[in-house]
Amino acid sequence: MTTDNIVSQALAEVKQVLDAAVPTQVDAMVPRIRKAGRIAVYGVGREGLMMKSLGMRLFHLGLDVHVVGDMTTPPLSTGDLLIVSAGPGQFSTVMGLMGVAHDAGAQTMCITAEPDGAAARLADQVIHIPAQTMARDQTGATSILPMGSLFEAAQFLFFEFLILRLCDVMGRSPAEMRANHTNLE
């Protein structure tokens, strides 16, 4: 298979996932994010990197957002939101953090490829991104991309589309977002 064919197939796969997820799932996230006091984001591995990218963009929008594990992450409580990624359906840390958030009165949102998974069943809101993850890469793999790369690539673009929607709903301009970008680079 040529590089051109690989690129074409991978892009077609990502487009198919986004076509299935974006129209309904992006708008489903907006009200809960806008209503939240504090927002904390969490994921493991490469999903964790995508969650950090979401956290950064939510911060650029001017929201009170934190990445779980950073030493400056405050406690969550009633009115707050924990957004987690559990592509394959569950991770022990995700499940534990969701329990802590619920005990503190916070709401939880789970982004997953497995809407019937354990993490989704525990969440107050489930966002379904129908893409191959590592949970299915050895049995029934359909993506040319390795392991969970299709889910992670779709997450990145999905989150950018979410940010565009939030910009529109919140009336934020690119200049306002840029003003929140760090100058310590």
Query: Amino acid identity, residue 57?
Result: R
Residue among 13, 47, 114, 152 flagged as catalytic? 152
Active site residue 160: no
Span between the terminal Cα atoms of the chain, in Å: 40
Using alpha carbons only, what angle is made at residue 117 by residues 57 and 66, rounded to the nearest 5 degrees? Answer: 25
39 DSSP β-pair partners: 65, 81
**Minimal CA–CA distance to 106: which of 31, 43, 32?**
32
Question: Which residues are designated catalytic?
Answer: 152
